[in-house]
Amino acid sequence: MTEPQTIPVLDKGFVRLVDAMGDDRRIVQAARVSYGEGTKTVREDAALIDYLMRHRHTSPFEMVEFTFHVKAPIFVVRQWFRHRTASVNEISARYSVLKDEFYEPTPGELRAQSKVNKQAGEGRLPAAEAERASALLAAAGRDVYARYQELLALGVAREQARSVLPVGIYTEFYWKQDLHNLLHFLRLRLDHHAQAEIRAYARAVAEFVKARVPLVWRSFEEHVLNARTLSASEL
Amino acid sequence: MTEPQTIPVLDKGFVRLVDAMGDDRRIVQAARVSYGEGTKTVREDAALIDYLMRHRHTSPFEMVEFTFHVKAPIFVVRQWFRHRTASVNEISARYSVLKDEFYEPTPGELRAQSKVNKQAGEGRLPAAEAERASALLAAAGRDVYARYQELLALGVAREQARSVLPVGIYTEFYWKQDLHNLLHFLRLRLDHHAQAEIRAYARAVAEFVKARVPLVWRSFEEHVLNARTLSASEL
Amino acid sequence: MTEPQTIPVLDKGFVRLVDAMGDDRRIVQAARVSYGEGTKTVREDAALIDYLMRHRHTSPFEMVEFTFHVKAPIFVVRQWFRHRTASVNEISARYSVLKDEFYEPTPGELRAQSKVNKQAGEGRLPAAEAERASALLAAAGRDVYARYQELLALGVAREQARSVLPVGIYTEFYWKQDLHNLLHFLRLRLDHHAQAEIRAYARAVAEFVKARVPLVWRSFEEHVLNARTLSASEL
Amino acid sequence: MTEPQTIPVLDKGFVRLVDAMGDDRRIVQAARVSYGEGTKTVREDAALIDYLMRHRHTSPFEMVEFTFHVKAPIFVVRQWFRHRTASVNEISARYSVLKDEFYEPTPGELRAQSKVNKQAGEGRLPAAEAERASALLAAAGRDVYARYQELLALGVAREQARSVLPVGIYTEFYWKQDLHNLLHFLRLRLDHHAQAEIRAYARAVAEFVKARVPLVWRSFEEHVLNARTLSASEL
Ligand SMILES: Cc1cc2nc3c(=O)[nH]c(=O)nc-3n(C[C@H](O)[C@H](O)[C@H](O)COP(=O)(O)OP(=O)(O)OC[C@H]3O[C@@H](n4cnc5c(N)ncnc54)[C@H](O)[C@@H]3O)c2cc1C
Ligand SMILES: Cc1cc2nc3c(=O)[nH]c(=O)nc-3n(C[C@H](O)[C@H](O)[C@H](O)COP(=O)(O)OP(=O)(O)OC[C@H]3O[C@@H](n4cnc5c(N)ncnc54)[C@H](O)[C@@H]3O)c2cc1C
Ligand SMILES: Cc1cc2nc3c(=O)[nH]c(=O)nc-3n(C[C@H](O)[C@H](O)[C@H](O)COP(=O)(O)OP(=O)(O)OC[C@H]3O[C@@H](n4cnc5c(N)ncnc54)[C@H](O)[C@@H]3O)c2cc1C
Ligand SMILES: Cc1cc2nc3c(=O)[nH]c(=O)nc-3n(C[C@H](O)[C@H](O)[C@H](O)COP(=O)(O)OP(=O)(O)OC[C@H]3O[C@@H](n4cnc5c(N)ncnc54)[C@H](O)[C@@H]3O)c2cc1C
């Protein structure tokens, strides 16, 4: 059982490691079932892990498992839950009244709409616009939460009243996933195509992974994160 | 290729059948690979399907596939996407400006919070409260959309500006799933424990399923939907 | 980390627990993320687990994970690996020479072909037939293994030479699966419709599950294993 | 509904296309749900598909589905079924008596064990050894099948009698998988690391894929099959 630890993310969120099973040696041990007895030193273990990573022998990486407790805004969670190879438990907004905690980026954290990449924010807003936008966002949270409370006070069911709550509100969930699919998640969500907010969470998750399976992490950086694929005509 | 058809759901949503592959006979044909040549008449097909359903031989039901195009509020979609055994493509609110379409239940569609079942709405609200709540919901959508537009006008990236949008806003997606897992979805989402709004969508999906695989549907009603499990001590 | 333990199965096989993550309390803890703080006593935990089991709230059961090391004949493994919700690593018969270990049932373990159930064995064989059959099976293993060795001696690639090896030969693998899907496996493979040989393995797996999550196991027996479903027309 | 077609593989096997759903245009159509209306010409479709393939936007490729009927030796099927993202129905050797059809490579099809690559066959055997080995394989099938029949005649249950049957015996199954995961299967099983026998099946599957989604196929060859990944230190 790993020591619980918590890494704060964004203004009110966090990633906490609840538990993990297996480590670098488990991967080697599982691979050895296939390839017979063999490597013994850390150096040989590292070489075997590197071989598996390079040749996409991904099944041994599935032998390691992580469970996280995460607090994040709904719009981040919506992106996160598109990854289906995981087990999840989330707060029910039918069962509980959600708290008034919204993602409120500071003026300096607001990004301008990119002209080139239709899908992303890019660069800072001018100071005045940023101030105005940040204030707007804060006001939006306050106003909407007052309405939510009014709906509840009128007796409206929580499951319907919550329909006014914004996707910037914080929610919490447990996330359990094996290392192979977690690395796949990290590859996609550490990438600069991913939205900055989920990238902040991915970096926190990566910290825990790196600490648990250092040999795998080095190999992942070498062969995946910092590798480059040349297409047939580029070769 | 099946005729595209559309069933309206809630105030602005729909379920549309995009395509389907296989039918009652495909299931029988796949099961026959296992059990050898055999049934020939519709009656024998029905009996075989019933046998498979009763004994949870679920793999032949996976041989049939459906693709839907759905328009639904985000809070419904959040429940829907928890089902992981499907393929999905959804509008990107990073890429596109979302339209100002919100789920706005009429006063008669608003439910009171149940005292017994913490997770559900139950029964109508008194008329005055219902009127007030319905007006509140409509105003919430309008106000928030104005703020969204203002944020966009200030140059804020769409991916950040959308954080003010409520989970009651409509989104669209493609949903592709095999029949076995779709029946599992229907079992959970036609059930009275599910929120009324997603049950409305489940009923629309069920219409398409029923039309495509009538023998399976009859068997599903008999052995799953309207069956009852007695626990060991109830026996 | 759980103590490794080994349960012998059939004449030469075993199930060994390599590792496990989570227990009854983890399930309760994960469910509480959804339903808020609450149960505290073991009694309350048991009631919550029972509620989840009865209402098929299966996601909290996915929070517990098991890793087994198994040695079994290929025909058992072929049935086992049809369960897709698991991670696997198996000996490679391309990489290694398989050992001459075959499943050799004693005369008393041989079953007669059922006349009623085309899919099963049922009852004992007459003594003389059983003796003869048991001797035949033993001879088959010996002869075939000699041929395998001769093919290897001729220089034939292991991956081709192994094509003479019977599905009764033993192989080994790591099996990692979450508790929800493991219970599903057990439900199907403890059932009397399953072949006696895989049922023997399922019983060994069940021992480990029972020891790790006793509250879940009791609930599973009550609501699944020993429950009975009445169809609509039987009600 | 696509025309059923059959491609023979190995000495007695085949791959037959049973059905397919969707094509290049479906992928574009699904992607457009995310990115809004847009491309119209085949040329623009090809560019969009290329973009999706290059950037690993894999979800639109899941919108296309294939169903195959395959006849192959068990040792090939054992490799095939390790791919879990598919739906399967296979002949039951508990229910039916298997036919005496074995994979019997001609002398020219036998491979020598590679010294370099422990996992593979490589190059031809000398003629004399090849003749001898081929004869041995043929005899092995005949002898073992006689024993199988004798066990059945003694009254042994089919499910136990089959334990003498070799992994070189042919079996049949239905295989249904989405295009994204089928491409993943092809990438791994067309590769020279895969065993020659399953590569022969992969080539047959590839024929059907190529015919159904020509734009995807071109892009897959360019960005996956014939691409090369340079690791961080190779860059
Ligand atoms: C009335 C109701 C109330 C609910 N309340 C809550 C709540 O308060 N909090 C909450 O978090 N959720 C809640 N849920 C969601 C619920 O926990 C499930 O996530 C959802 O119903 C999907 O069910 P599923 O996992 O069986 O379906 P699918 O995801 O479609 O999976 C079907 C089956 O496939 C297998 N499977 C698929 N993917 C995986 C995987 N990655 N790992 C392992 N096995 C897999 C499993 O056997 C699973 O049973 C609720 C659901 C209902 C119907
Ligand atoms: C930068 C970026 C932009 C994106 N933009 C959009 C967008 O505009 N619209 C949109 O809809 N999505 C978008 N996505 C989400 C994307 O399409 C994927 O849904 C998400 O990244 C999860 O990836 P995955 O499917 O590989 O992961 P997982 O769901 O974890 O799956 C991993 C692998 O498991 C297999 N698998 C798991 N479940 C299934 C299943 N049910 N059926 C078949 N195979 C399965 C597949 O091989 C899959 O590759 C975006 C993602 C990123 C990173
Ligand atoms: C040349 C070669 C040699 C091999 N040698 C060996 C060997 O010696 N021993 C051995 O055991 N295997 C061996 N394999 C098999 C290999 O380990 C994989 O099991 C097989 O290739 C299937 O790959 P996959 O898991 O990516 O595919 P799929 O099972 O189709 O999965 C596709 C993706 O979906 C996701 N996914 C699907 N199901 C699950 C699940 N239950 N849990 C988590 N994620 C899931 C994962 O992201 C996965 O990458 C070999 C394969 C090849 C090609
Ligand atoms: C007594 C008995 C007799 C049998 N006879 C035969 C036979 O004659 N022929 C034969 O072919 N099989 C036979 N089977 C195997 C059976 O069809 C199933 O393949 C096997 O039991 C695994 O069950 P599962 O799919 O529910 O489990 P898992 O593969 O563990 O899946 C659990 C759940 O996860 C979801 N899931 C996981 N992977 C996928 C995926 N790729 N696509 C969609 N959903 C997925 C589904 O909801 C599934 O129900 C038999 C099984 C039993 C117990």
ipTM: 0.97
Sign of CA dihedral D77, D81, D83, D89: positive
Under an 8 A CB cutoff, do A166 and B144 touch? yes
Q: Which of C32, C189, C203, C218 is catalytic?
A: C189
Q: Is C3 exposed, middle or buried (0-12, 13-18, 19+ CB in 10 A)?
A: exposed
Compute the distance from residue D191 Cα to the ligand 3 centre, in Å: 14
pLDDT surpassing 80 at residue D40:
no
Reply yes or no on whether the pLDDT at D41 is more than 90.
no
CB neighbour list of residue C117: distance below 8 Å, 6 or more residues apart = none
Is the Cβ–Cβ distance between B207 and C209 less than 8 Å?
A: no
Q: Which helix (H) or strand (E) element contains residue D90? A: strand D87-90
Ranges B3-12, B173-182, D20-29: which has the least confidence: B3-12
Per the prediction, chain C carries an average pLDDT of: 94
- Nearest to residue C4, comparing CAs of A62, A176, A29? A29
pLDDT 10s digits, C70-81? 999 999 999 999
| Cβ atoms of residues D87 and B59 within 8 Å | yes
Tokens of D174: 């239905």
Indicate the residue type of A187. R
Task: Kindly provide the residue ranges of all beta strands, DSSP E only, lying in chain A, ordered along the sequence.
Answer: 5-9, 13-21, 65-73, 87-90, 111-113, 121-124, 170-178, 228-230
**Is residue A152 a contact partner of residue B166, using CB atoms and an 8 Å limit?**
no
- Segment C214-226 shows an average pLDDT of 97
- Please name the member of C59, C223, C232 whose beta carbon is closest to the beta carbon of B227: C232
Ligand 3 atom nearest the C-alpha of C85 is 41
Give the Cα separation of C49 and C25 in Å (integer): 9
Structure tokens at B235: 């026996």
Residue B233 DSSP symbol: G
pTM value is 0.97
Please give the distance, rounded to the nearest whole angstrom, from the Cα atom of residue C185 to the centre of ligand 3: 20
Cβ of B114 less than 6 Å from ligand 1: no
Sorted by sequence, the CB contacts under 8 Å of residue C145 that are 6+ apart come out as: C100, C102, C165
DSSP character at residue D225? I
Smallest CA-to-CA distance from C71 within C4, C10, C15, C5 is with C15
What is the C-alpha separation between B19 and B6, in angstroms, rounded? 12
Q: Which helix (H) or strand (E) segment is D187 a member of?
A: helix D179-190
What does the pLDDT read at residue A122?
81
pLDDT in tens, D138-148: 999 999 999 99
pLDDT averaged over chain B? 94
Please tell me the residue having the least CA distance from ligand 2 atom 15: A82
* CB neighbour list of residue C119: distance below 8 Å, 6 or more residues apart: C193, D92, D94, D95, D159
What gap in Å lies between CA B75 and CA A21, rounded to an integer? 34
Contact yes or no for C189/C202 (Cβ under 8 A): yes
Nearest in space to A73 (alpha carbons), one of A173, A199, A168: A168
Instruction: Tell me if B89 and D35 make a contact (CB, 8 A cut-off).
Output: no
* Per-residue model confidence (pLDDT) at position D43: 83
Residues of B with a known catalytic role: 189
Q: What pLDDT does residue A57 have? A: 95
Q: Which residues of D are catalytic?
A: 189
Mean residue pLDDT of chain D comes to 94
Q: Is the CB of C32 under 6 A from ligand 1?
A: no
- Give residue B39's pLDDT band: very low, low, confident or very high (50, 70, 90): low
Minimal Cα distance from B82: which residue of A?
Answer: A81
Q: What whole-number distance in Å separates Cα of residue B119 and Cα of residue B122?
A: 10
What pLDDT sits at residue C117? 78
Q: What angle do the packed helices A179-190 and A196-212 form, to 10 degrees?
A: 140
* Interval D152-188: pLDDT, tens: 999 999 999 999 999 999 999 999 999 999 999 999 9
Residue that has been written with the tokens 């609110």 in this structure: B93
Ligand 3 lined by D83 (C-beta under 6 Å): yes
Q: Which pLDDT value is given to residue C1?
A: 43
What angle, 0 to 180 degrees and rounded to 10, lies between the N-to-C axes of helices C179-189 and C196-212? 140
Task: Name the residue among D227, D214, D234 with its Cα closest to residue D187.
Answer: D227
Give which of D25, D51, D63, D96 to mutate to test B binding, by max B Cβ within 10 Å.
D63
pLDDT confidence bin for D1, thresholds 50/70/90: very low
DSSP annotation string for chain C:
-PPPEEEEETTTEEEEEEEEE--HHHHHHHHHHHH-S---SHHHHHHHHHHHHHTT--GGGGG-EEEEEEEEEHHHHHHHTT--SSEEEE--TTTSPPPS-B----GGG-EEEPSS-TT-EEEEPPHHHHHHHHHHHHHHHHHHHHHHHHHHHTTB-HHHHGGGSBTTBEEEEEEEEEHHHHHHHHHHHSSTTS-HHHHHHHHHHHHHHHHH-HHHHHHHIIIIIT-EEEPGGG-
- Strand-pair category, B87-90 with B170-178: antiparallel
Q: Please say whether the beta carbons of A172 and A98 come within 8 A.
A: no
pLDDT at C114 > cutoff 90:
no
CB atoms within 10 A of CB B212: 19
The verdict on the CB of residue D178 being under 6 Å from ligand 2 is yes
Both tokens of residue C165?
A: 């090896």
Rounded to a whole number of angstroms, the distance from the CA of B120 to the nearest CA of chain D is 32
- Find tokens 């296989």 and name the residue: B22
User: Which residue in the block uniquely carries the two structure tokens 């990566």?
Assistant: A206
pLDDT of residue C36 exceeding 70, the answer is: no
Name the least confident of A110-114, A136-140, B191-195, D118-122: D118-122
Q: Quick one: average pLDDT of D191-211?
A: 97
For tokens 């493994």, what's the residue?
Answer: C77
**What's the pLDDT band for B121 if we cut at 50, 70, 90?**
confident
Band (D37; pLDDT cuts 50, 70, 90): low
- Identify the CA nearest to D205 among candidates D105, D104, D67, D83: D67
- Calpha distance C15→C173 (Å, rounded): 10
3-state secondary structure of D165: coil
CA distance C90 to C174: 6
Smallest CA–CA distance, residue A222 to chain B, in Å, is 30
Count contacts between C and D (CB, < 8 Å): 167
Q: Distance between CA A167 and CA A170 in Å, rounded?
A: 8
Q: Which ligand is nearest to the CA of D117?
A: 3
The mean pLDDT values, 10 residues at a time, for chain A of 235 residues are: 78 98 97 74 90 96 98 98 98 93 96 83 90 96 96 96 98 98 98 97 98 98 97 94
